[in-house]
Amino acid sequence: MSTCPYSKTAGGCRRNHCRLLHQNPENAQRGPSASAKSPTSKPRRPQTKTGAPNGVCKFYFAGESCKRNSCTYRHTEPDGASVTKQRGSGAPSSSSHRGANKAPTLAERSLEPAGFSPIPASKALYQLSIICASGSVLTKPAQIMKFVNLLANASSKDSGWDEKDCQRFLEIITETHGLSRIETVLTFDPVIVQVNARREPISFTSAYIPCLGYLVSRFVLDSTMGIRVNSLYGLIHTNFDRVSTIITTCMTDITK
C-alpha cells in the first residue's frame, strides 16, 4: 500500500477516510489516520479551575475575591479547602478551612466546655430539636451542660461539621424555643467559677463562656441569615445588665 504524502507533513493528513498508509513517528497506523480531524471540529479545551462544581462560588473557586455581598454558595477552592469571607470584604478570613483537620488552637479550646464531647452533626441536630421543643425545659445544671455541649459542637473547628450543618443548627435555634434556652443559660443564677453542691450552680468556664462562644463563632458571624443572627444578639441586648454582672463577678473571682 502506498504511503500518504500528507502524513509526514507538519499539518498531517486531513482526509476523513484516507486509505493510504500513514507513517507518523508518534502513532504509526494503517488505515484511517487517528490524527485526522474534521475541518469544522474544534479542539476540546481542557477544564480549568474556573469551572466550579454545582453549589460552589465560581469566584472563590477561580482564586478570586467573591463579588457577591451575600453569597449563598460554598467558598471552596480547587484543592477542596473551604474558605469563608469576612463581612464587608471579599478577602478570605483568618478562619479559613484550609487544613480543616488541624487541631484547634488553645484559644479555640477555651471556648469548649470542660466535658466537651464531639457529636456528629446529624445526632446533634436531633438532640437540639428535642431540647428546643415546647415541652422541654432547662432547669438543672446537667441539662444546661448537655445543651451547651451542642453549642460547642456547632462552633468547634474540629467537629467535622460543614456550613450546611451549622446553618441548620442556627435555623433550629431561632425557629423553635432555642432562643429561650440560650437566654436561660445567659441569665442563670448562680453562675460561679468553682462549682459546688450549693444551689446547683453552673460553671462560668465550662458552661457560660462556651455559650457566649457560640454567639461569636465563625458560623454565626459569617452567616448570611442576618435576621436570625440579630435575634441571637438581641438576647445580649435584652439581658445586658445580668450578663454584665455575671461576667464582671466571675472575672473578678478568677483574677483574685
Max alpha carbon distance in the chain (Å)?
Answer: 103
Q: What pLDDT does residue 8 have?
A: 73
C-alpha cell at 76: 471552596
Closest CA to 86 of 226, 224, 229, 222: 222
C-alpha–C-alpha distance, residues 166 and 77, integer Å:
20
Q: What pLDDT does residue 209 have?
A: 93
CB 111 within 8 A of CB 152: yes
Q: What pLDDT does residue 135 have?
A: 87
Please name the residues in contact with 72: beta carbons below 8 A apart, sequence gap of 6 or more. Answer: 224
For the chain, list residues with pLDDT below 70.
1, 10-11, 16, 23-51, 60, 65, 67-70, 76-115, 157-159, 195-199
C-alpha cell at 200: 446547683
Q: What pLDDT does residue 117 have?
A: 82
**Tens-place pLDDT, residues 66-89:** 766 667 777 766 655 444 443 334
C-alpha–C-alpha distance, residues 145 and 158, integer Å:
20
Closest CA to 218 of 172, 161, 175: 161
**Tens-place pLDDT, residues 198-249:** 557 899 998 999 999 999 998 899 888 999 999 999 999 999 999 999 999 9
C-alpha–C-alpha distance, residues 183 and 177, integer Å:
10
Instruction: Return phi, psi of residue 64, to 5°.
Output: -110, 175
Q: What pLDDT does residue 229 have?
A: 95
DSSP letters, 139-172, are -SHHHHHHHHHHHHHHH-TTS---HHHHHHHHHH
Q: What pLDDT does residue 64 have?
A: 73
